[in-house]
Amino acid sequence: MSPGVMRGGGAVLLFLLAWEVAGRMIFVPAVLPAPSAIAAEGWARWLSGALQWDVLMSASRLAVGFAAGSLLGAFLGLLFGAFAPVRRTLEPLVQFLRFIPPIAWLTPVLIWFGIGEEGKWVLITYTTTFMVLLNTLAGFAEQHRDRMRAARVFGAGSWETFLHVRLPATVPWILGGMRIGMGNSFQTLIVAEMLASNEGLGQLILNSRLQLSTEGMFVGIAGIAVLGILADSAFRAVTRRLFRRYRLGW
């Protein structure tokens, strides 16, 4: 084991131990339940089959929203990057909308899309799109003077320089935006599940709050964290292999 992993693992273990002691000796479970109590609650939910169902529903919502948001964000980003007039006209609108969080859209989405799955997808798509779009635009802002000159010397027209120089140079930025966007879509999951849902990890957090079951709330929080770490590692592993020529730094 590398010293980095050992230090990290040691810190996590020490933290859990301190939390366990604090949870048992100092706080009542309603305020801060010990990790063992949270694990027990999670295990009980797993045995009853409720936890698997929550994870499955949340994962499907995240997958749809993240995929749609990434595609839309990358598409808009490339469109903005390829056609400057499009960017100049639409960018102010994007800049304005990015300060309006998904939670503010809760009621309009409820009215327009109802209480089904669509509304939840829309909210997660919304939050992912901006991150991918903004990162793609940042990628286009990067100058590649020498590469552009080289391409022009070889007779590439403006479309060819876009296709062979600017587009490939943006790929790492799109992927980076997707990684950040994935964090955002996980953060938005709980908002999406505020839209009348009966299952899901976000719903578990919200519902436990009403029932004053702090253990349940932490099971939901831990579930989202574990799912997020797994999804991020999977994304890194896959993109590292698929996009080897870009030498992604992860």
Quote the least distance from Cβ 94 to another protein, whole Å.
9
Whether 148 contacts 165, CB under 8 Å: yes
Cβ–Cβ contacts within 10 Å for residue 148, how many? 15
Q: Site residues for another protein, window 118-147 (CB under 8 A)?
A: 138
250 touches another protein by CB under 8 A: no
Q: By CB under 8 A, how many residues form the interface with another protein?
A: 56
Whether 122 contacts 113, CB under 8 Å: yes
Q: How far apart are CA 231 and CA 196, in angstroms?
A: 25
Quote the least distance from Cβ 154 to another protein, whole Å.
30
Q: Site residues for another protein, window 4-23 (CB under 8 A)?
A: 4-5, 7-12, 15
Q: Site residues for another protein, window 83-112 (CB under 8 A)?
A: 85, 88-90, 92-93, 95-101, 103-108, 111-112
* DSSP secondary structure string for all residues of the chain: --HHHHHHHHHHHHHHHHHHHHHHHTS-TTTS--HHHHHHHHHHHHHHTHHHHHHHHHHHHHHHHHHHHHHHHHHHHHHHHH-HHHHHHHHHHHHHHTTS-GGGGHHHHHHHHTTSHHHHHHHHHHHHHHHHHHHHHHHHHS--HHHHHHHHHTT--HHHHIIIIIHHHHHHHHHHHHHHHHHHHHHHHHHHTTTT-SSSHHHHHHHHHHTT-HHHHHHHHHHHHHHHHHHHHHHHHHHHHHTGGG----
Quote the least distance from Cβ 46 to another protein, whole Å.
20
Q: Which stretch binds another protein (CB under 8 A): 39-47, 51-59, 153-161, 216-224?
A: 216-224
Nearer CB in complex with another protein: 32/71: 32
Q: Which stretch binds another protein (CB under 8 A): 27-35, 71-79, 116-124, 156-164?
A: 27-35
Quote the least distance from Cβ 155 to another protein, whole Å.
32
Q: Binding residue for another protein (CB under 8 A) from 58, 197, 214, 239?
A: 214
Binding mask 44-83 for another protein (x = CB under 8 A): ----------------------------------------
Nearer CB in complex with another protein: 132/205: 205
Q: Binding residue for another protein (CB under 8 A) from 38, 51, 132, 190?
A: 190
Residues present in the chain in total: 250
Using CB under 8 A, list all residues that contact another protein.
3-5, 7-12, 15, 30-32, 85, 88-90, 92-93, 95-101, 103-108, 111-112, 138, 183, 186-191, 202, 205, 208-209, 214, 217, 220-221, 224-225, 227-229, 232
